[in-house]
Amino acid sequence: MYCFELNINYTMLQREGKTAMELGLRDARVLITGGASNIGRGIVHGFAREGARIVISDVDGPQAEKVRAEALELGALAVEVEVADLTEPSAADTAVQRAVDSWGGLDALVNNAGWSVPGFIAEDTDRAKWQRTVEINLFTAIACTQAAIGPMKDAGQGSIIYIASDAAFGQIRQGIYGATKAALIALARTTAREHGRHGIRSNVICPGLVIPDGPDAVGADSLWSVGQDAVFNEKQIEFLRKDIPLRRLTTADDIANSVVWASSHLAARQVTGQVFSVSGGYTMP
């Protein structure tokens, strides 16, 4: 178990030139799926600044090792890398068990593993492609949630965060992807209702468009590895930006700050079953 300090200090601290929140997450045992690139990498960094112990689960071993080194530099107490395709049977159980074997339990799970290839619904008819989207976005979250409930239930508390998307509310060229992300909302709320009595909280973060902040932010297996223009070109980005009330894109750090806050028993102990759009107001669920 990690220590919950009664005297909560929300003063923002500067560590390594970054902002860190004191949220009682020092020593927390955290599993982050898809933790090697873009949003996942940002979330790893966020927990690292809090002094957490982190398991990075990803299919991209070299990128995950790079992020492991970054996390240790930022203040993580320990970082393990679990290289696996979470759509494979038992892979989720193995990832959760890595935290349990290393540190005796699991305090927070972040279901971030995801995949998207934009396409209009009438044209996106390649079943193998969209079945893979369902497997990565939904199956992995179900499997990891089921694996995490046991150790969290034993501990009498835990936090599960689902990284969904504003596409869950309906977006052009995101029909199948959005459907999987909408399913995560139902999964999160069901988990919250069924396991709140065990002290397990379950919440959803819906990012707006997050562009990788540079070449170090993605690995060869990232959906962004094909190049930014192949995912969202500048014309599409500017079209999107005009509909954002704050007129700025979301960053990986924006998502990380929200995830870290929602994972904190000190800051968010009475928050469960909630959906937060971190998109500058692009959607307001």
The pairing of beta strand 13-15 with beta strand 18-20: antiparallel
Sign of the dihedral through C-alpha 129, 130, 131, 136: positive
Is 10 assigned a catalytic role? no
2, 162, 177, 282: the catalytic one is: 177
Exposed / middle / buried, residue 4 (Cβ in 10 Å: 0-12, 13-18, 19+): middle
Cα dihedral 236, 231, 161, 44, rounded to 10, equals -110
Q: How far is CA 62 from CA 31, 69, 70, 248, in A?
A: 18, 11, 13, 31
Rg of the Cα atoms in the chain: 18
- Residues annotated as part of the active site: 177
